[in-house]
Amino acid sequence: MTPESPRLTRRKALDELRRHGIEGTDVYLMDIIPLIEMIWSDGRAQPGEIDILENFLRQHVERLNRMSGYNVLTMAQARRFVDRFLSARPDPELLHTLRDLVAPVRLATSDEALRHQVRDSLLAACLDIAASAVIEYPYGIDERFNTAEKRCFFEILESFERRDDDETDRR
């Protein structure tokens, strides 16, 4: 989406997800897409990065089930969703497209505190992933995150900030 294009509604985002085979309770796992994009940003899914994703995934499923009062998702369902994107490197364009759908689907709430909590936890997990594994040692003082990881992080941040700006404009 360009800055001039109209804001993507939740309904249109859900339709787009369905075209990519993501529907039903899998929609609640869209939060994971930016983390997967971050994992693959340097071209490799490294064990430490996957450990962070697994921890986030477990907490996410527990929090979602606790908030809803029943088991919306199981860890087996969540792992199947993630495995689609970790078994082989997905097309970066697909990840970018799906990431742009995270905000209208998962951050489209009038509860500003909840929206910021979800956004901040996703961004923190992205930073943890980027910092968890370095492809080459030794690394320079400004090379803990490689250029591709930095670019990916800022693109993720920008996609979430666009949503925050949209919410502010609507008030």
CA distance 30 to 17: 9
Sign of CA dihedral 143, 147, 152, 157: positive
* 147-170 vs 92-106: helix crossing angle, rounded to 10: 30
Q: What is the pLDDT of residues 117-149, one digit of tens each?
A: 889 999 999 999 988 876 666 665 666 678 888
Residue pointed to by tokens 């089930």? 65
pTM of the model: 0.85
pLDDT of residue 166: 52
CA distance 136 to 152: 19
Q: What is the pLDDT of residues 28-84, one digit of tens each?
A: 999 899 999 999 998 999 999 999 999 999 999 999 999 889 999 999 999 999 999
Tell me, rounded to whole angstroms, the distance of Cα 43 from its chain centroid. 17
